A and B are shown apart, each in its own frame.
Chain A
Amino acid sequence: MPISLKVNGVERTLECDTRVSLLDALRDHLDLPGTKKGCDHGQCGACTILVNGRRINSCLTLAVMHEGDEITTIEGLGGPEDLSPMQRDFVSCDGYQCGYCTPGQIMSATGMLAEARDGMPSHVSESLIGKANLSDAEIAERMSGNLCRCSAYPFIREAIARNTEQSQ
């Protein structure tokens, strides 16, 4: 089926089988391998991207379902020469070891901060009313959809906390 997507601000079209996940469309049809495949079943978060500004797992959705949608991948946040603030904070806090989960972590953190700014509560928020303060426990809970096999969690949370402080 023919599909058109707006990926990182650029109109792209591709022709693919109905079975192709959005993740495989990005990696194998649009030559954007920054988004990673960990489990392919929604369990690890390595494939996290933004669709119309919201974070999702690209492995658990079909490319054909996203006709006309705006997609942001790690390549769209910034490259080696023009890192986004979140990417820079991950680098300066050593928020990774092998780096495999990192694109997903950074995309997820970007989406998560937008949710928090919109007032979304979390499982650990004491009150459901009002905006939660992004404590370490809040960051950990809101990022629980991203696993890190190297267990770089403390530094990942630190990078996100640093980014939060700077953007406030």
Chain B
Amino acid sequence: MREFDYVRADSLDHAAAQAGPHAALIAGGTNLLDLMKLQVMVPERVIDISRLDGLDTIEADGPGLRIGAMVRNADLAADPRIRADYPVLARALLAGASGQIRNKASTGGNLLQRTRCPYFYDTAMACNKRAPGSGCAAEGGASRMLAILGTSKDCRAAHPSDMAVALRALEARVAIRAPNGTERILEMDQLYRLPGDRPDLETELDEGDIITAVLLPAPALGSSQSYRKIRDRASYAFALVSVAAVVTMQDDRIGKASLAFGGLAPRPWKDAQVDAMLAGQAPSEALFSKAADTLLAEAVSDAGNEFKRHLAHRAMIAVLREATGLAPASTGTDLVGEPA
């Protein structure tokens, strides 16, 4: 690991004032330190925000919730309000990493964890994300963990978070504090940039910006929520494909469906067209299949990740079957209490 100065922030102002082009915030440290050991990330100053007051609470926010950026993944998954009203989020968190890591990992750090692309991790390889302009060694290489949607010729890295996929399906927003103390709130698709020709620029955060919270809207009462993660081993592995769904039925039709996907794209993926195709329709195998075709219409894959098209297609249909009642719910699908 390269040498660095350690600063324990005593306020958000202090943390922001210490920011700079060669500084990094540290929250749980489970991603940053992993990458620092490999010299994939080489900050000269590490700013510890893990002890800041007020960042580790989950509070009512109108009809929704405000989740502080330092709330640990384990605590978020265990919170009774999350388990009852936002079960897809609890499920996604519990499907990620291990008990030990979830005790450390924070909400903000989870959102901003870096890709698991093997070429990003290997400093001897070309990678436009790690070393802008050096090229992309993934071309023709090991693509099993790489994205098939939203990629560019310069980068095919996938976003690895499970939590973020559930948050995308729940239509959560992210609160960001600028160095001058003002707060702005971004939709998740505004937070994450697509790679284009600058895969090194992953988010809309500017220097000194700090994520302070994730905002959940009012619970989707009466919805069926589901998180399905498919991976190379039964536990403690990143997603090859994952699907998060929040589906509300109106009589025998789909009132609203909000789907998001992991393992497929450089950010938690949502396709508004897919949600729109499902809304107002009677659930059927044919409808689901057509919507899955739409999801994958623009997919770009190679021999190493071609399987993701089929996996995503089937996973989406399987999740929708359970969420709409065409098939009995299995573990991972939960109901949110009916409106009174």
Interface residues of A (CB under 8 A from B): 1, 17-19, 21, 40-42, 45, 48, 54-57, 60-62, 64-65, 67, 108, 111-112, 115, 118-129, 140-146
Contacts and interface: CB of A to CB of B under 8 A. Distances in A.
12 contacts: A18-B5, A19-B3, A19-B4, A41-B37, A55-B100, A56-B103, A61-B30, A111-B103, A112-B99, A126-B331, A128-B91, A144-B98
B278 to A, nearest CB: 25
A56 B100 contact: yes
Interface of B: 1, 3-6, 8, 26, 28-30, 33-34, 37, 46, 48, 50, 74, 77-78, 83-84, 87, 90-91, 94-95, 97-101, 103-104, 234-236, 331, 334
B34 to A, nearest CB: 5
A14 to B, nearest CB: 15
Nearest to A54: B103
A34 B8 CA distance: 29
A141 B235 contact: yes
B78 A60 contact: no
Given A141-B235, A145-B236, A65 B334 contact: no
Contacts of A21: 33
A73 to B, nearest CB: 14
Given A60-B29, A119-B78, A129 B83 contact: yes
Contact of A120 (B3, B74, B101): B74
Of A45, A54, A56, most B-chain CB atoms within 10 Å: A56
A118 B50 contact: no
A125 B30 CA distance: 25
B74 A64 contact: no
A62 B24 CA distance: 14
Given A123-B235, A128-B87, A144-B236, A55 B99 contact: yes
A130 to B, nearest CB: 10
Given A19-B4, A141-B235, A42 B99 contact: no
A111 B74 CA distance: 12
B100 A115 contact: no
Contact of B30 (A42, A127, A144): A42
Nearest to B48: A65
A92 B87 CA distance: 39
Contacts of B26: 62, 65
Contact of B98 (A45, A61, A125): A45
Given A42-B97, A56-B104, A61-B30, 9 more contacts: A42-B98, A45-B98, A62-B26, A65-B26, A112-B99, A118-B78, A123-B94, A125-B94, A143-B99
